[in-house]
Amino acid sequence: MAKFAFRNPAFAADSQNITTEQLDEIYNRASAPVEGEVMTVEDTIAKTVGAFALMLVGAAGGWIFAAQNPIVWIAAALIGLVLGLVNSFKREPSAPLILAYALVQGVFVGGISAFYESFMSGIVVQAVIATLVVIGVTLALFASGKIRASKRATKIFLIAMIGYGVFSLINFVLVITGVQTDPYGLRGSVTLFGIPLGIILGIFVVLMAAYSLVLDFDFIQRGVQNRAPRKYGWTGAFGIMATVIWLYLEILRMLAIARR
C-alpha cells in the first residue's frame, strides 16, 4: 500500500503505509480520468522497473566510490531519509523526487553493501538471494489470494512498526553514546537462548517487511480497480522500492550478526 516513511535510525531503511480512508481520498480527489490516464499494472511495473534501474546505477557508483569513503554513503543515507519523508507526505506523487530518492538510496545501499562485503565475503550475494526469495514468495501468495491486507493485520503492523522504531532509536543512541560497545548495540550484545537478539528480531522484521509488500501490492491492485489517476503508479513504485530496500538492509544486518 502507499506508504508513510519509516526510517530505522540505526540502519536507514524505509517503510510506510496509509489508511483505507486516506487511500479512498486519493481515488476520489481527482475528477475521473479519461481513458489512457488511469493507473494500470503494466504502467506501474514500468515505473517500478525504471526506479530500480536507477537505484542500481546509484548502487554501482556507491559500491565503486563510496565504499572507500563512508562519509559518502552516510550522507546519501541522510539525503535519502529527507527525500523519503518528502515523497511520503506529499499529497501528489512527484516522479523526479521519487527517482532522486532511488538514485540516492542506491548510493547508500551500494556503499554499505561494499562495506560489509569487505569484512564478510559473499554476504551481499546471500542477502540479495534471500531478499528475492522473500519478494517472490510474498508476490506468489498475494497473486494466489492466500494472503491479503486486512484492517486488523494493518493495525498490528503499524503498532509493531512504532515499537520497532522506538527500539531502533534507543539502540542507536546507546551505540553512539558508547553505552553499548557492540557495534550492533542490543542486537548483538543481548542473547536469548544463546541466539543474538538481532537474529530473533530480524526474523520478525522480515515478516513485517513482507506484510509491507502485501500492502504495496494491495495499493496497486485497488488503484487499478478504482481507476485511480495514472500518476499514482509512482506512489506504488515508491512504496515497493522503499520496502525492498528496507527488507534487503534488514537481511544484510541479520546475516552479518549471524556470521560474526
Could you tell me how far CA 131 lies from the centroid of its own chain? 11
The answer on pLDDT for 7 being more than 90 is no
Residue 196 CB contacts under 8 Å (≥ 6 apart), including other chains: 184, 187, 188, 190, 257, 258
Residue 106 CB contacts under 8 Å (≥ 6 apart), including other chains: 54, 55, 56, 57, 58, 59, 60, 61, 62
Dihedrals φ, ψ of 82, to 5°?
A: -65, -50
Residues in the chain: 260
CA separation, residue 111 to residues 63, 85, 93, 103, 254 (Å):
5, 21, 27, 12, 18
The answer on pLDDT for 249 being more than 90 is yes
For the CA atoms of 208, 189, 129, 136, what is the dihedral angle to 10 degrees?
Answer: -10
The pLDDT score that the predictor gives to residue 18 is: 53
Confidence band, pLDDT 50/70/90 cuts, at residue 190: very high
pLDDT tens for residues 202-230?
999 999 999 999 999 999 999 999 999 99
Beta strands in 65-223 (DSSP E): 191-192, 195-196
pLDDT tens for residues 60-105?
999 998 777 889 999 999 999 999 999 999 989 999 999 999 999 9
The answer on pLDDT for 109 being more than 50 is yes
Least confident residue range of 9-13, 21-25, 110-114, 175-179: 9-13
Reading phi first (left if > 0) and then psi (alpha if -120 to 50, else beta), residue 39 is in: beta
pLDDT tens for residues 17-69?
455 555 556 555 544 454 558 999 999 999 999 999 999 999 999 999 877 78
The pLDDT score that the predictor gives to residue 5 is: 39
pLDDT tens for residues 127-166?
999 999 999 999 999 999 999 999 999 999 999 999 999 9
C-alpha cell at 129: 538471494
Strand pairing partners for 38?
Answer: 229
The pLDDT score that the predictor gives to residue 8 is: 37
The pLDDT score that the predictor gives to residue 36 is: 58
* Average pLDDT of the residues of the chain: 88
| Residue 204 and residue 167 in contact, taking contact as beta carbons nearer than 8 Å | no
Angle in degrees, CA 149, 135, 100, rounded to 5: 95
C-alpha cell at 137: 514468495
| Residue 217 and residue 235 in contact, taking contact as beta carbons nearer than 8 Å | no
